[in-house]
Amino acid sequence: MASVSILIVASPGDEERARGALASARAQAGEAELLLVGDVDLGEDAAGLRRIVPSPGAAPASARNDALEAAAGDLVLVVEAHERLAPDAVARHLAALEAAPDAVASYGRTAIEEEGRVRLRPDAGRSGRVLARLIHDKHLIAASACAMWRKAALGPAPYPETYRSVPALRLAMALRAAQAGEFVFHPTVVAERDAEKSDLAGLEELVRVFLGVLYAPERLEEKAEHRARMRLARQLVAIGKHHFRQGDHRRAGKFFDEAVKAAPAYFKGRRYQFMNFVARNVLTRSRA
């Protein structure tokens, strides 16, 4: 049977949540290797763990990549401090990957607690080549902890050091793996996480992720490119809305304009209502 390494990733201030993430991993780790990634002190809870401590000022990706390189397992699971592994998640991933020996990753659903409600994401997954679906559906890989990766398929330094937010790091690595091979989906809850806050810096990083996908040396298939442009437009609109709420209507208008250039089809149908909103609330104020 393939060996497993589980990486618990935490930053200073995340100690309490990291204890929950670690406990969920320990409950089912068996003989899996456990690594604590980050400059955090969990006291006795971290007894016996291998530790990967980042260099001062290093990007979040740096310690993650160092941990992946140091991991002894053939298969790796990454668990963020705000996530937990659902019961039996490790066993389910192992069974899925054993049944699909050519798959580069196994993933399942994530139970996300938001505003007092628990939602299961994704609504529907798929196995096989998932690149286009991954680009289109922001919930396909809804938590780092929902996926188990074949370490060899990730290649060296799969986390780009230009990103700092967890959603951008997670998506960038998943996109890289999806270009390398097939995924296998099993429709069970394998991960749980708290809501993730989406700030301006995080939105801007997601824009850069999709720009990188669209303008990579390897051209996307037509379907995947269309979906990448639609997703890019969605992120640009989100940034525009942020600036609009801050009262910077001129800058908001610029982002809406870039969204139209990236994917005019994004604004068809029911989105005409949104364009009327832009005309009334953004363009008129930017000329004032």
Tell me the torsion sign for CA atoms 89, 209, 20, 39: positive
DSSP secondary structure of 219-246: PPPHHHHHHHHHHHHHHHHHHHHHHHHT
* CATH class, range 4-194: alpha beta
Element (H, E) at 89: helix 89-99
State pLDDT tens for residues 48-66: 889 998 888 788 999 999 9
Q: In this structure, are residues 190 and 86 in contact, taking their beta carbons and an 8 Å threshold?
A: yes
CA dihedral 53→35→80→201, nearest 10 degrees, is: 30
Question: What's the rounded Cα separation, in Å, for the pair 172 and 169?
Answer: 5
* pTM across the whole model: 0.90
State pLDDT tens for residues 211-254: 999 998 888 899 999 999 999 999 998 999 899 889 888 898 89
Closest listed residue to residue 97, CA positions, set 77, 72, 69, 67: 77
pLDDT at 239: 94
Which residues, in sequence order, are CB contacts of 39 under 8 Å at separation 6+?
A: 11, 12, 53, 54
pLDDT at 2: 86
Domain boundaries, the chain: 4-194, 200-286
